[in-house]
């Protein structure tokens, strides 16, 4: 349930919903929200809340800091509504809009339209309350393509869209990372001189860079893991509403909802592009009580060209579930929405499920009592496993320095150097591979693999090597394996230099 400590939230329902004729009891929805969710004020407004300042007055009277709109359609006067929201001193990027017209029309049987509306609005309240605000860097202004007759007499109103912003203090571009650049379909990101440059004008915010970043250095204020978790957890909360079983459907905001009727148990979650959802996002709802999870591909093809990626991630989820002994169809592409979600939902306690892929996989494995020796190699696994050829590695530690997540660690101690690996942190980005000076001899390798035992073990040792120390001052010189490799490279021609290199540190060489 939603805690009373959350910010005061105003839910405005379009009076036009009364005339839809889909069995939606607007008064029952109002009463339920007011009685069930603390710190929520609910009222109806005409004209989808955009006329004559009613929205501004309602916000002021309620003292709300969050706003949810229940409208007849996803098509509404966005610019005019946002202008009123700004006048009411609220962040326009924090508005949550629920298409109750579609929810009522698609719910089957029709009497369940009211129950579905309750759940969808409760989830929108939860998501609105998880909104942390935006900065000027995260706002993109767009002029409206079409306006109402009222606004034709005024200056054109801009539409405020959420845009990603890069936290340079967290970015790993200086280490060579360009994961965000590689996934951006608009070419809005570029890595130059160890920094990521962002062209907001080119960007059509799709969210792909947000989930691709291994350090969560890219944030889009309108689509954060915390918001998705709040919405999904509420949609699947068995204490809210009486619709069971419930399934979750990820759909793209660029594509209209498929025509119904849907079974009432399918709950939609809208993303800028479903291609931004990693496999862990498709599996996490199964821990929160979903009987099934579906992904709706865009009609006419994905605008960002993510069809293969989306299908590959769904396929990975299905193979992972099969490996656990669970039904593969619990995650599917384009599910039959006119049929009830199939499966037995089981809600368990899990911390930050949309922020921790390894935790999601381990929790599901525990739920199905899967053997720890289960291993799945798949091109779309969200994780990787690094191995080291100890007879080739020289212990330089360059791979660990390049690792953006800290999955690879390097430490120099009195007794030598150590290279360690923590599988839950590895995103299989492959950035460690080209930095290895012994790459041509396969000193390091990376497998796109889900290995339950590796995930459970935590940080493990991959490589250890003794250090050579200066005979003059005792300072460390280099790992013995590295000196041996240098000797082999120098050959007989320069063999006379090895006694100096292997016995004295740099300072003592200079001093001598």
Please report the pLDDT score of residue 418 as a whole number.
94
Per-residue pLDDT at 469 exceeds 50: yes
Q: How far is CA 351 from CA 107, 126, 356, in A?
A: 31, 17, 8
Please report the pLDDT score of residue 415 as a whole number.
80
Cα 370–chain centre separation? 26
Contact 88, 55 (CB under 8 A): yes
Please report the pLDDT score of residue 16 as a whole number.
84
Per-residue pLDDT at 389 exceeds 70: yes
- pLDDT category of residue 346 using cuts at 50, 70 and 90: confident
Please report the pLDDT score of residue 344 as a whole number.
73
How far is it, in rounded angstroms, from Cα 123 to Cα 237? 9
- pLDDT category of residue 1 using cuts at 50, 70 and 90: very low
Percentage with pLDDT > 70 across the chain: 95
Q: Which domains does the chain have, with CATH numbers?
A: 1-144 (3.40.50), 164-219 (3.30.70.20), 223-370 (no CATH), 385-465 (3.30.70.3270), 468-511 (no CATH)
Phi and psi at residue 453, to the nearest 5° = -65, -45
Longest dimension (CA), the chain: 94
CB atoms within 10 A of CB 4: 9
Task: Tell me the whole-structure pTM to 2 decimals.
Answer: 0.90
- Residue 404's nearest CA partner among 208, 170, 193 is 170
Contact 377, 323 (CB under 8 A): no
Please report the pLDDT score of residue 144 as a whole number.
59
- Residue 158's nearest CA partner among 138, 136, 143 is 143
Please report the pLDDT score of residue 50 as a whole number.
52
Please report the pLDDT score of residue 147 as a whole number.
47
Say if strands 96-99 and 66-71 run parallel, antiparallel, or are unpaired: parallel
How far is it, in rounded angstroms, from Cα 268 to Cα 4? 25
* Whole-angstrom Cα Rg for the chain: 27
Please report the pLDDT score of residue 152 as a whole number.
46
Contact 259, 231 (CB under 8 A): no
- Residue 435's nearest CA partner among 484, 396, 482, 488 is 396
Question: Per DSSP, what are the bridge partners of residue 460?
Answer: 421
CB atoms within 10 A of CB 375: 14
For range 12-40, the mean pLDDT: 88
For range 236-245, the mean pLDDT: 92
What pLDDT digit, counting tens, does each position of 102-154 carry?
877 777 777 888 999 999 999 999 999 999 999 999 999 887 554 454 544 55
For range 8-32, the mean pLDDT: 87
DSSP reduced 3-state for 230: helix
- pLDDT category of residue 39 using cuts at 50, 70 and 90: very high
Please report the pLDDT score of residue 154 as a whole number.
54
In the 8-state DSSP scheme, what is residue 305?
Answer: S
Mean pLDDT score of the chain: 90
Most confident of 21-35, 107-121, 204-218, 493-507: 204-218
């Amino acid at each position: 349930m939603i805690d009373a400590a959350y910010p005061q939230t105003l839910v405005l329902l379009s009076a036009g919903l009364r005339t839809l004729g889909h069995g939606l009891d607007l008064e029952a929805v109002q009463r339920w929200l007011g009685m069930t969710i603390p710190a929520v004020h609910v009222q109806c407004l005409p004209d989808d809340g955009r006329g004559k300042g009613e929205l501004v007055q309602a916000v002021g009277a309620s003292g709300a800091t969050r706003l949810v709109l229940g409208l007849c359609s996803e098509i509404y006067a966005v610019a005019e509504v946002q202008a009123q929201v700004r006048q009411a001193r609220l962040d326009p990027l924090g508005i949550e809009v629920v298409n109750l017209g579609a929810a009522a029309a698609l719910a089957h049987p029709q009497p369940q339209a009211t129950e579905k509306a309750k759940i969808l609005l409760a989830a929108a309240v939860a998501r609105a309350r998880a909104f942390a605000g935006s900065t000027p860097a995260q706002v993109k202004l767009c002029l409206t393509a079409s306006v109402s007759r009222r606004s034709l007499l005024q200056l054109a109103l801009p539409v405020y869209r959420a845009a990603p912003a890069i936290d340079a203090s967290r970015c790993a571009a200086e280490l060579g990372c360009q994961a965000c650049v590689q996934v951006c379909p608009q070419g809005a990101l570029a890595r130059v001189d160890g920094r990521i440059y962002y062209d907001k004008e080119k960007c059509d915010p799709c969210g792909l860079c947000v989930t691709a970043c291994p350090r969560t250095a890219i944030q889009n204020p309108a689509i954060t893991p915390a918001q998705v978790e709040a919405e999904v957890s509420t949609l699947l909360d068995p204490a809210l509403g009486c619709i069971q079983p419930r399934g979750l459907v990820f759909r793209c905001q660029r594509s209209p909802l498929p025509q119904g009727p849907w079974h009432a148990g399918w709950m939609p979650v809208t993303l800028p592009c479903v291609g931004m959802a990693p496999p862990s996002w498709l599996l996490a709802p199964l821990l929160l009580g979903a009987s099934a999870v579906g992904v709706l591909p865009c009609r006419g093809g994905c605008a960002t060209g993510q069809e293969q990626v989306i299908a590959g991630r769904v396929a990975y989820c299905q193979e992972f579930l099969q490996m656990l002994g669970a039904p593969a169809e619990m995650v599917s592409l384009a599910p039959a929405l006119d049929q009830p979600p199939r499966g037995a939902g089981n809600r368990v306690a899990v911390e930050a499920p949309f922020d921790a892929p390894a935790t999601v996989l381990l929790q599901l494995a525990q739920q199905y009592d899967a053997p720890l020796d289960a291993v799945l190699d798949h091109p779309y696994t969200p994780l990787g496993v690094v191995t080291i050829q100890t007879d080739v590695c020289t212990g330089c530690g360059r791979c660990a320095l390049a690792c953006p997540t800290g999955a690879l660690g390097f430490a120099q101690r009195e007794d030598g150097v150590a290279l360690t690996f923590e599988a839950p942190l590895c995103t299989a980005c492959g950035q460690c591979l080209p930095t290895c000076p012994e790459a041509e001899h396969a000193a390091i390798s990376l497998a796109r693999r889900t290995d339950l035992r590796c995930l459970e073990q935590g940080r493990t040792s991959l490589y250890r090597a003794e250090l050579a120390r200066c005979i003059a001052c005792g300072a460390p010189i280099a790992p013995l394996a590295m000196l041996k490799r240098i000797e082999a490279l120098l050959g007989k021609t320069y063999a006379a230099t090895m006694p100096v290199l292997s016995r004295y540190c740099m300072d003592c060489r200079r001093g001598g």
